[in-house]
Structure 1
Amino acid sequence: MNTPAPPSAEPEVLRVRDRVFADLADLLARYDLRLHQVADGEKIPGSFWGEPEAGVIADNVYVRGDTPLHSMLHEACHLIVLPPERRAAVHTDATDSDIEEDATCYLQILLADGIPGVGRERLMADMDAWGYSFRLGTTRDWFEGDAEDARQWLGERDLLAPRFGQRHAA
């Protein structure tokens, strides 16, 4: 799986501004993450790809209104899959591990079901539109037919059951 730099002409995808910020922040809080909204036009701290992509620093995810929702979820999931001692050391670049990257992509699709009006179908379409690339072609093809290693890895870490119902106690 290759996570691409954003395309030069940004496609129509859901953005942070298209959803209720409190819903997004609550979802991330269930994993002990804090979501921060950066003012429009300001630099996003910890953004690996640069604006408008989300940024990560330790337990913090930074977004602007124009940040693609898939980017917010992707960067948050990078932090979710890390043990606390590694998460605390993250600044901008969360991993160079292929399995952690795959697990991140898989988990972001699962977490999309916890955002009102989004869901996995829309998120996978946005990932395809943005240019995520997978061996089998589409995000859906990968998710349904080529992500066993990511599912197994997440399952071993008890991360396959998204925390939609109640906040996680630290």
Structure 2
Amino acid sequence: MQIYVRARTFFEAARGSWKERHIFRTSRIISINSVSFPAEPPPFSDEFLHAENLLVLYFDDVDEGQPHAMTPEQAKQIVDFVRIEDPRPIFIHCTAGISRSGAVGEVLNWYFNRYLEDDQEDYQRFQIMHHDLVPNAHVRRLLLTEFQRDHENLKAMMQKIRLRREVQKNGNTSSKGEER
């Protein structure tokens, strides 16, 4: 599974452009916005704010027990969102694209590309592209706990996606052979 972590400026720069439309057509997005310091609205055009492939969350980059920390319910929302059988890449953003989104991206990469299936290419791509992350430990802990609860459902979903990819790959191969 392809997973990308970005700063909110990546999406702010694309707002209202063909690039924003392309991203929303070809990807799923987890948008993590600050509640304070200052509060941030999602960095997308109004037409995309209610897209089915967008999950908007609000929590700050703080530790457990601090005001506006990520909640277990928000971790569940992320797991429910990625559990949808959709092979499109996932973009995750927060303000800087390092801590909150870094923790989410790191956990998703490990869980989907190492634990559920051994996808070395996607796993290594994430590791190389995002070597500078400083993941929020509280966010990481909540997500790992939620993934543990929902493991069997996610395992079944990945098997379906893997089968669909194989069918598409074999279908594309056989149709190319028929053209000759």
Higher helix share: 2
- Pair member with larger Rg: 2
Higher strand share: 2
Report the TM-score, using the length of structure 2 for normalisation.
0.31
Report the TM-score, using the length of structure 1 for normalisation.
0.32
